[in-house]
């Protein structure tokens, strides 16, 4: 029982010292961890949605080359989120001073655009999987 408590407390200690990296990296070496987490989460959601969706073509590893825009959106999402989270820090808010409105507006726009980019298919297209073939004449 005592050994279990030791593991439990060490997990809590680890989490309390490392979880902040996911929303408020404080040091330069924490920023790559921040980006890696948010980009992986974003791309993972997109890939799982693509794999499970009946509105996209069957999943094939060769189609991953068409996911470059997902990586771009993932970087934009992580950057926008980082800028927004920065406004909860007093030092960052003071440094931004007069520019906080344009930075916040651009960050929110980046979030909204990239959240819609999570969807692996065009929501305005017909409800059929994309096969890459041209339709026959009616």
Given this model, what pLDDT does residue 137 score? Answer: 44
4 in any annotated domain: no
Q: What is the pLDDT of residue 73?
A: 96
Whole-number pLDDT of residue 126: 62
Is 32 a member of any domain? Answer: yes
Q: Is residue 128 part of a domain?
A: no
Domain count, the chain: 1
In a domain, 9, yes or no: no
Residue 74 lies in a domain: yes
pLDDT in tens, the chain (138 residues): 445 555 556 767 766 677 777 777 888 898 999 999 999 999 999 999 998 988 888 878 888 888 899 999 999 999 999 999 888 878 877 887 888 889 899 999 999 999 999 999 888 876 655 555 444 444
Q: Is residue 102 part of a domain?
A: yes
Q: Do 34 and 82 meet the contact criterion of CB atoms below 8 Å apart?
A: yes
Query: Is 96 a member of any domain?
Result: yes
Q: Is residue 105 part of a domain?
A: yes
Domain limits for position 73 = 28-116
């Amino acid at each position: 029982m005592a050994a279990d408590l030791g593991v439990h407390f060490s997990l809590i200690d680890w989490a309390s010292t490392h979880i902040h990296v996911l929303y408020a990296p404080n040091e330069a070496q924490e920023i790559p961890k921040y980006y890696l987490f948010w980009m992986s989460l974003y791309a993972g959601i997109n890939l799982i949605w693509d794999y499970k969706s009946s509105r996209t073509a069957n999943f094939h590893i060769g189609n991953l080359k068409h996911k470059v825009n997902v990586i771009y959106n993932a970087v934009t999402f992580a950057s926008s989120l980082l800028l927004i989270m920065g406004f909860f820090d007093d030092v960052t808010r003071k440094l931004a001073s007069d520019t906080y409105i344009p930075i916040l507006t651009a960050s929110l726009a980046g979030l909204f655009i990239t959240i819609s980019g999570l969807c692996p298919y065009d929501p305005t297209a017909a409800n059929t999987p994309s096969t890459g073939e041209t339709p026959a004449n009616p």
